[in-house]
Amino acid sequence: MTGLTVLVVDDEPLARRRLTRLLGRLNWVERIEQATDVLDACRKTVEIQPDIMLLDIQMPGGSGFDVLERLESEPPVVVFVTAFDHHALRAFEANAVDYLTKPIEPGRFDQAMARAQSIVGARLQTDRIAELQETIASLKRALREQPRQTGEFWVKIRGEHLRVGLEKIIRFQAERDYVRIHVAGADYLYQETLGSLEQRLDSSEFIRVHRGAIVRIDTIVGIRPAPFAAMIAVLKDGSEIRIGRTYASSVREKLMRK
């Protein structure tokens, strides 16, 4: 099957670019469109009638659920894009068309898209609607039950995977499409954007101090002034992180409360 149209729905430009690049490798995808929020996604779904929709769940001003609930006739084949833990998502396999977890792995992406391609035009319309409704209900239940914070990170080192417990992490530092995870005496590169990661962290334990840094609150041992009215956070491991001006008030408020 060739000449299919795919609509990418995600509020993060970086995530949309990454999905678009991956879609560009598929010779059966003829047209790629993008939407940034619920209203935009609903409008473009009506206008272009995509065959497949890559749909993020968490977006400002609404969610992927809202998009699906507003679809009326001829819903596209939906592949969910989520930040849920892999274990929680196992419960959706029986109901969801498919899902991708952030950060997206190319091999897993190809697998999901091959599955989506195979069922485009193969299901009855009533089956699509019933399956979407059942999937929405399952994901909503999981969203209520799933803790916001991810308890562990798996990092790849010299071909092997190492588990890094969240309780050991001192800070996260942005590095383009990645974050660098700092623990006592070591650091690891992890494929996820800092903005996406921030949504999954407990705000009572971690705080963003700069557009490129998130730190564990109880590792901050002091705040010292810097030139031009700036501030520097001093951490337990001896590292120092500049506090961005837009984050200064929230940092002061959070530390004073504690």
- Mean per-residue pLDDT, 184-213: 88
pLDDT at 1 > cutoff 60: no
Query: Whole-angstrom distance between the N-terminal and C-terminal Cα of the chain?
Result: 59
- The whole-number pLDDT of residue 130 equals 64
Instruction: Return the higher-pLDDT residue of 66 and 86.
Output: 66
Residue 186: its pLDDT value, please? 92
145-177 pLDDT, tens digit each: 544 555 678 888 877 888 888 889 999 999 887
256 membership: H or E segment, kind and range = helix 248-257
pLDDT digits (tens, 9 = 90+) for 78-98: 888 877 655 445 435 434 577
As a whole number of angstroms, the distance between CA 57 and CA 37 comes to 10
Across 25-29, 63-67, 192-196, 245-249, the highest mean pLDDT is recorded for 25-29
Residue 86's pLDDT is what?
A: 52
According to CATH, what is the number of the domain 4-145?
3.40.50.2300
Domain boundaries, the chain: 4-145, 152-257
What does the mean pLDDT of the chain come to? 82
Q: Phi and psi of 116, rounded to 5°?
A: -65, -40
Amino acid letter for position 204: S
Q: What is the pTM of this model?
A: 0.54
pLDDT in the model for residue 71: 77
In the sheet that 29-35 helps form, which strands lie side by side, from edge to edge? Answer: 29-35, 4-9, 52-56, 77-82, 98-101
State the DSSP string of 86-108.
Answer: HHHHGGGTTTSSEEEESSPPHHH
Give phi and psi for 173, each to the nearest 5: -125, 130
Q: Name which of 14-23, 37-46, 75-84 the model is least confident about.
A: 75-84
Helix/strand/coil (H/E/C) assignment for every residue in 44-58: HHHHHCCCEEEEECE
Q: Is the pLDDT of residue 124 over 50?
A: no
Q: Which two tokens stand for residue 234?
A: 């001093």
Picking from 250, 244, 243, the residue whose alpha carbon sits closest to that of residue 223 is 243
Identify the bridge partners of residue 34 per DSSP, sorted by sequence position. Answer: 8
> Side-chain half-sphere of 11: how many Cα atoms within 13 Å?
14
Average pLDDT over residues 106-121: 88
Q: Which CATH architecture has domain 152-257?
A: Beta Barrel (2.40)
